Amino acid sequence: MVIPLTALIRDGGSDKRMKGLTFSMPMTFALVFFLGYLGYRVFRHLHIPGGAITGSLVMVAAFSSQGVIWADLPSFISTALQVVVGIMIGCKFSKKKVPQLKLLIIPGLMVSAWMLCTGLLVGILLARITGLDLGTALYGAVPGGMAEMGLVALAYNLNVPVVSLYQFVRVIAVHLIVPPIALKYGHTKREEAVSKEIPVMDATEGKKEKDFGILVTLIIGGCGGFIAKHFGVPVGGMLGAMVVVGALRSIGVPLKELPTWVSVFAQVGLGGYLGTTFTPEIVATFQRMLLPTLVFSAAIVISGIILGFLVHRIFGWELSTALMACAAAGVTQMSAIALDMDADAVTVGLIQVIRLATIVLLMPSLIGHMIS
């Protein structure tokens, strides 16, 4: 049953929080994007980098934490949003970048090993200091993705709210801390990135051709993304679209780039989608474990920043790109923020994919041996 907006006061007026407020599918979709866009505008006004994702995430999470019950959005919506980001990254490919891809293998493995070892070390310390069971602490500390870690923790009958809490706080911390550092010490300017929009064509025929070209790009990228998702590829929506569009662009197919507003729309949706996972249970857990949550989440974020500076020095990458690639957050989110900041989104996306795939493949067996 859907509760109307007027039914906010419960228990004789003693509880004025939004606990128990349930939204239908269309209302959930509309509100997530509305609140997300509002958060994006606030963060952009405050000149916070990556505001499309971070602002929408924080704004929707603020409502979710009050007990709002969102309808389960179909998985194809998240996949479609990932596809848009994947297309944007794929359009950054060119013939010149193809030989450079093999150079990402060693940095990718280095980042993966660093993140895995850091997560395991933090998890062990977390278990010893807080008294959490080792499995919960490890799955909460290892940066393998909120959804993935939550599902694995559920399968092993671990404390899912605690795992989700640590994963969520870490992601929020990365979004709030890493982009400003990259903006301050890197060589890109957000204003330049925002201003780089597709030139407007005056001729009606030219506009029709451009619109048709954009539609073709969306169809091709969508096919690649949804096929990859169907076969269970990690972050398949983004990765499939990125590979297909990037491959075609690399062999000279003139696929049209998407307008900037499409990327912003996708980022707002992704941030809002992530914000719906911030439940009151996570808030209650956070209140009980405030200090260890902040300390250990900060440790992982700082570790990623240190790694970013090392990668910058060792491999000579532009600093913004190195920091985004080494950030312990989601593949799609960091790739989208890299696009927003005009960093090398191709490198960021591929390194993040290598990290996620390595951790997801190795972590369950490693932790299984440690807790057995």
Instruction: Give the predicted TM-score (pTM) of the model.
Output: 0.65
Domain that holds residue 144: 76-193+257-371
Distant-in-sequence, close-in-space partners of 67: CB < 8 Å, separation ≥ 6: 17, 18, 19, 20, 21, 280
Instruction: Calculate ∠ Cα 47-293-164, nearest 5°.
Output: 85
Rounded to an integer, what distance in angstroms lies between the CA atom of residue 119 and that of residue 144?
A: 9
230: in domain = no
Q: Round the CA-based radius of gyration of the chain to a whole number and report it.
A: 21
Position 148 scores a pLDDT of 58
93: in domain = yes
3 state SS for 6-57: CCCCECCCCECCCCCCECCHHHHHHHHHHHHHHHHHHHHHCCCCCHHHHHHH
Strand partners, 3: none
pLDDT tens, position by position, for the chain (372 residues)? Answer: 333 333 333 343 434 445 557 778 888 889 999 999 999 999 888 877 667 877 888 888 888 888 888 888 787 888 888 888 888 878 877 777 677 777 888 998 999 899 989 989 999 998 998 888 888 888 888 886 665 566 567 667 777 667 877 887 888 888 888 888 888 876 544 444 333 333 334 444 466 677 788 888 999 999 999 998 888 876 678 788 888 988 898 888 888 888 878 888 888 888 888 788 777 877 777 778 888 888 988 999 999 999 999 999 999 999 999 999 999 887 777 887 887 788 888 888 888 878 877 776 677 677 777 776
Position 37 scores a pLDDT of 93
Position 226 scores a pLDDT of 93
Position 81 scores a pLDDT of 86
Rounded to an integer, what distance in angstroms lies between the CA atom of residue 257 and that of residue 197?
A: 10
251: in domain = no
Position 312 scores a pLDDT of 94
* Tens-place pLDDT, residues 252-279: 888 888 887 888 888 888 888 878 877 7
Rounded to an integer, what distance in angstroms lies between the CA atom of residue 266 and that of residue 246?
A: 19
Rounded to an integer, what distance in angstroms lies between the CA atom of residue 107 and that of residue 26?
A: 43
66: in domain = no
299: in domain = yes
Write down the mean pLDDT value for the chain.
Answer: 78
Number of domains in the chain: 1
206: in domain = no
DSSP state of 343: S
71: in domain = no
2: in domain = no
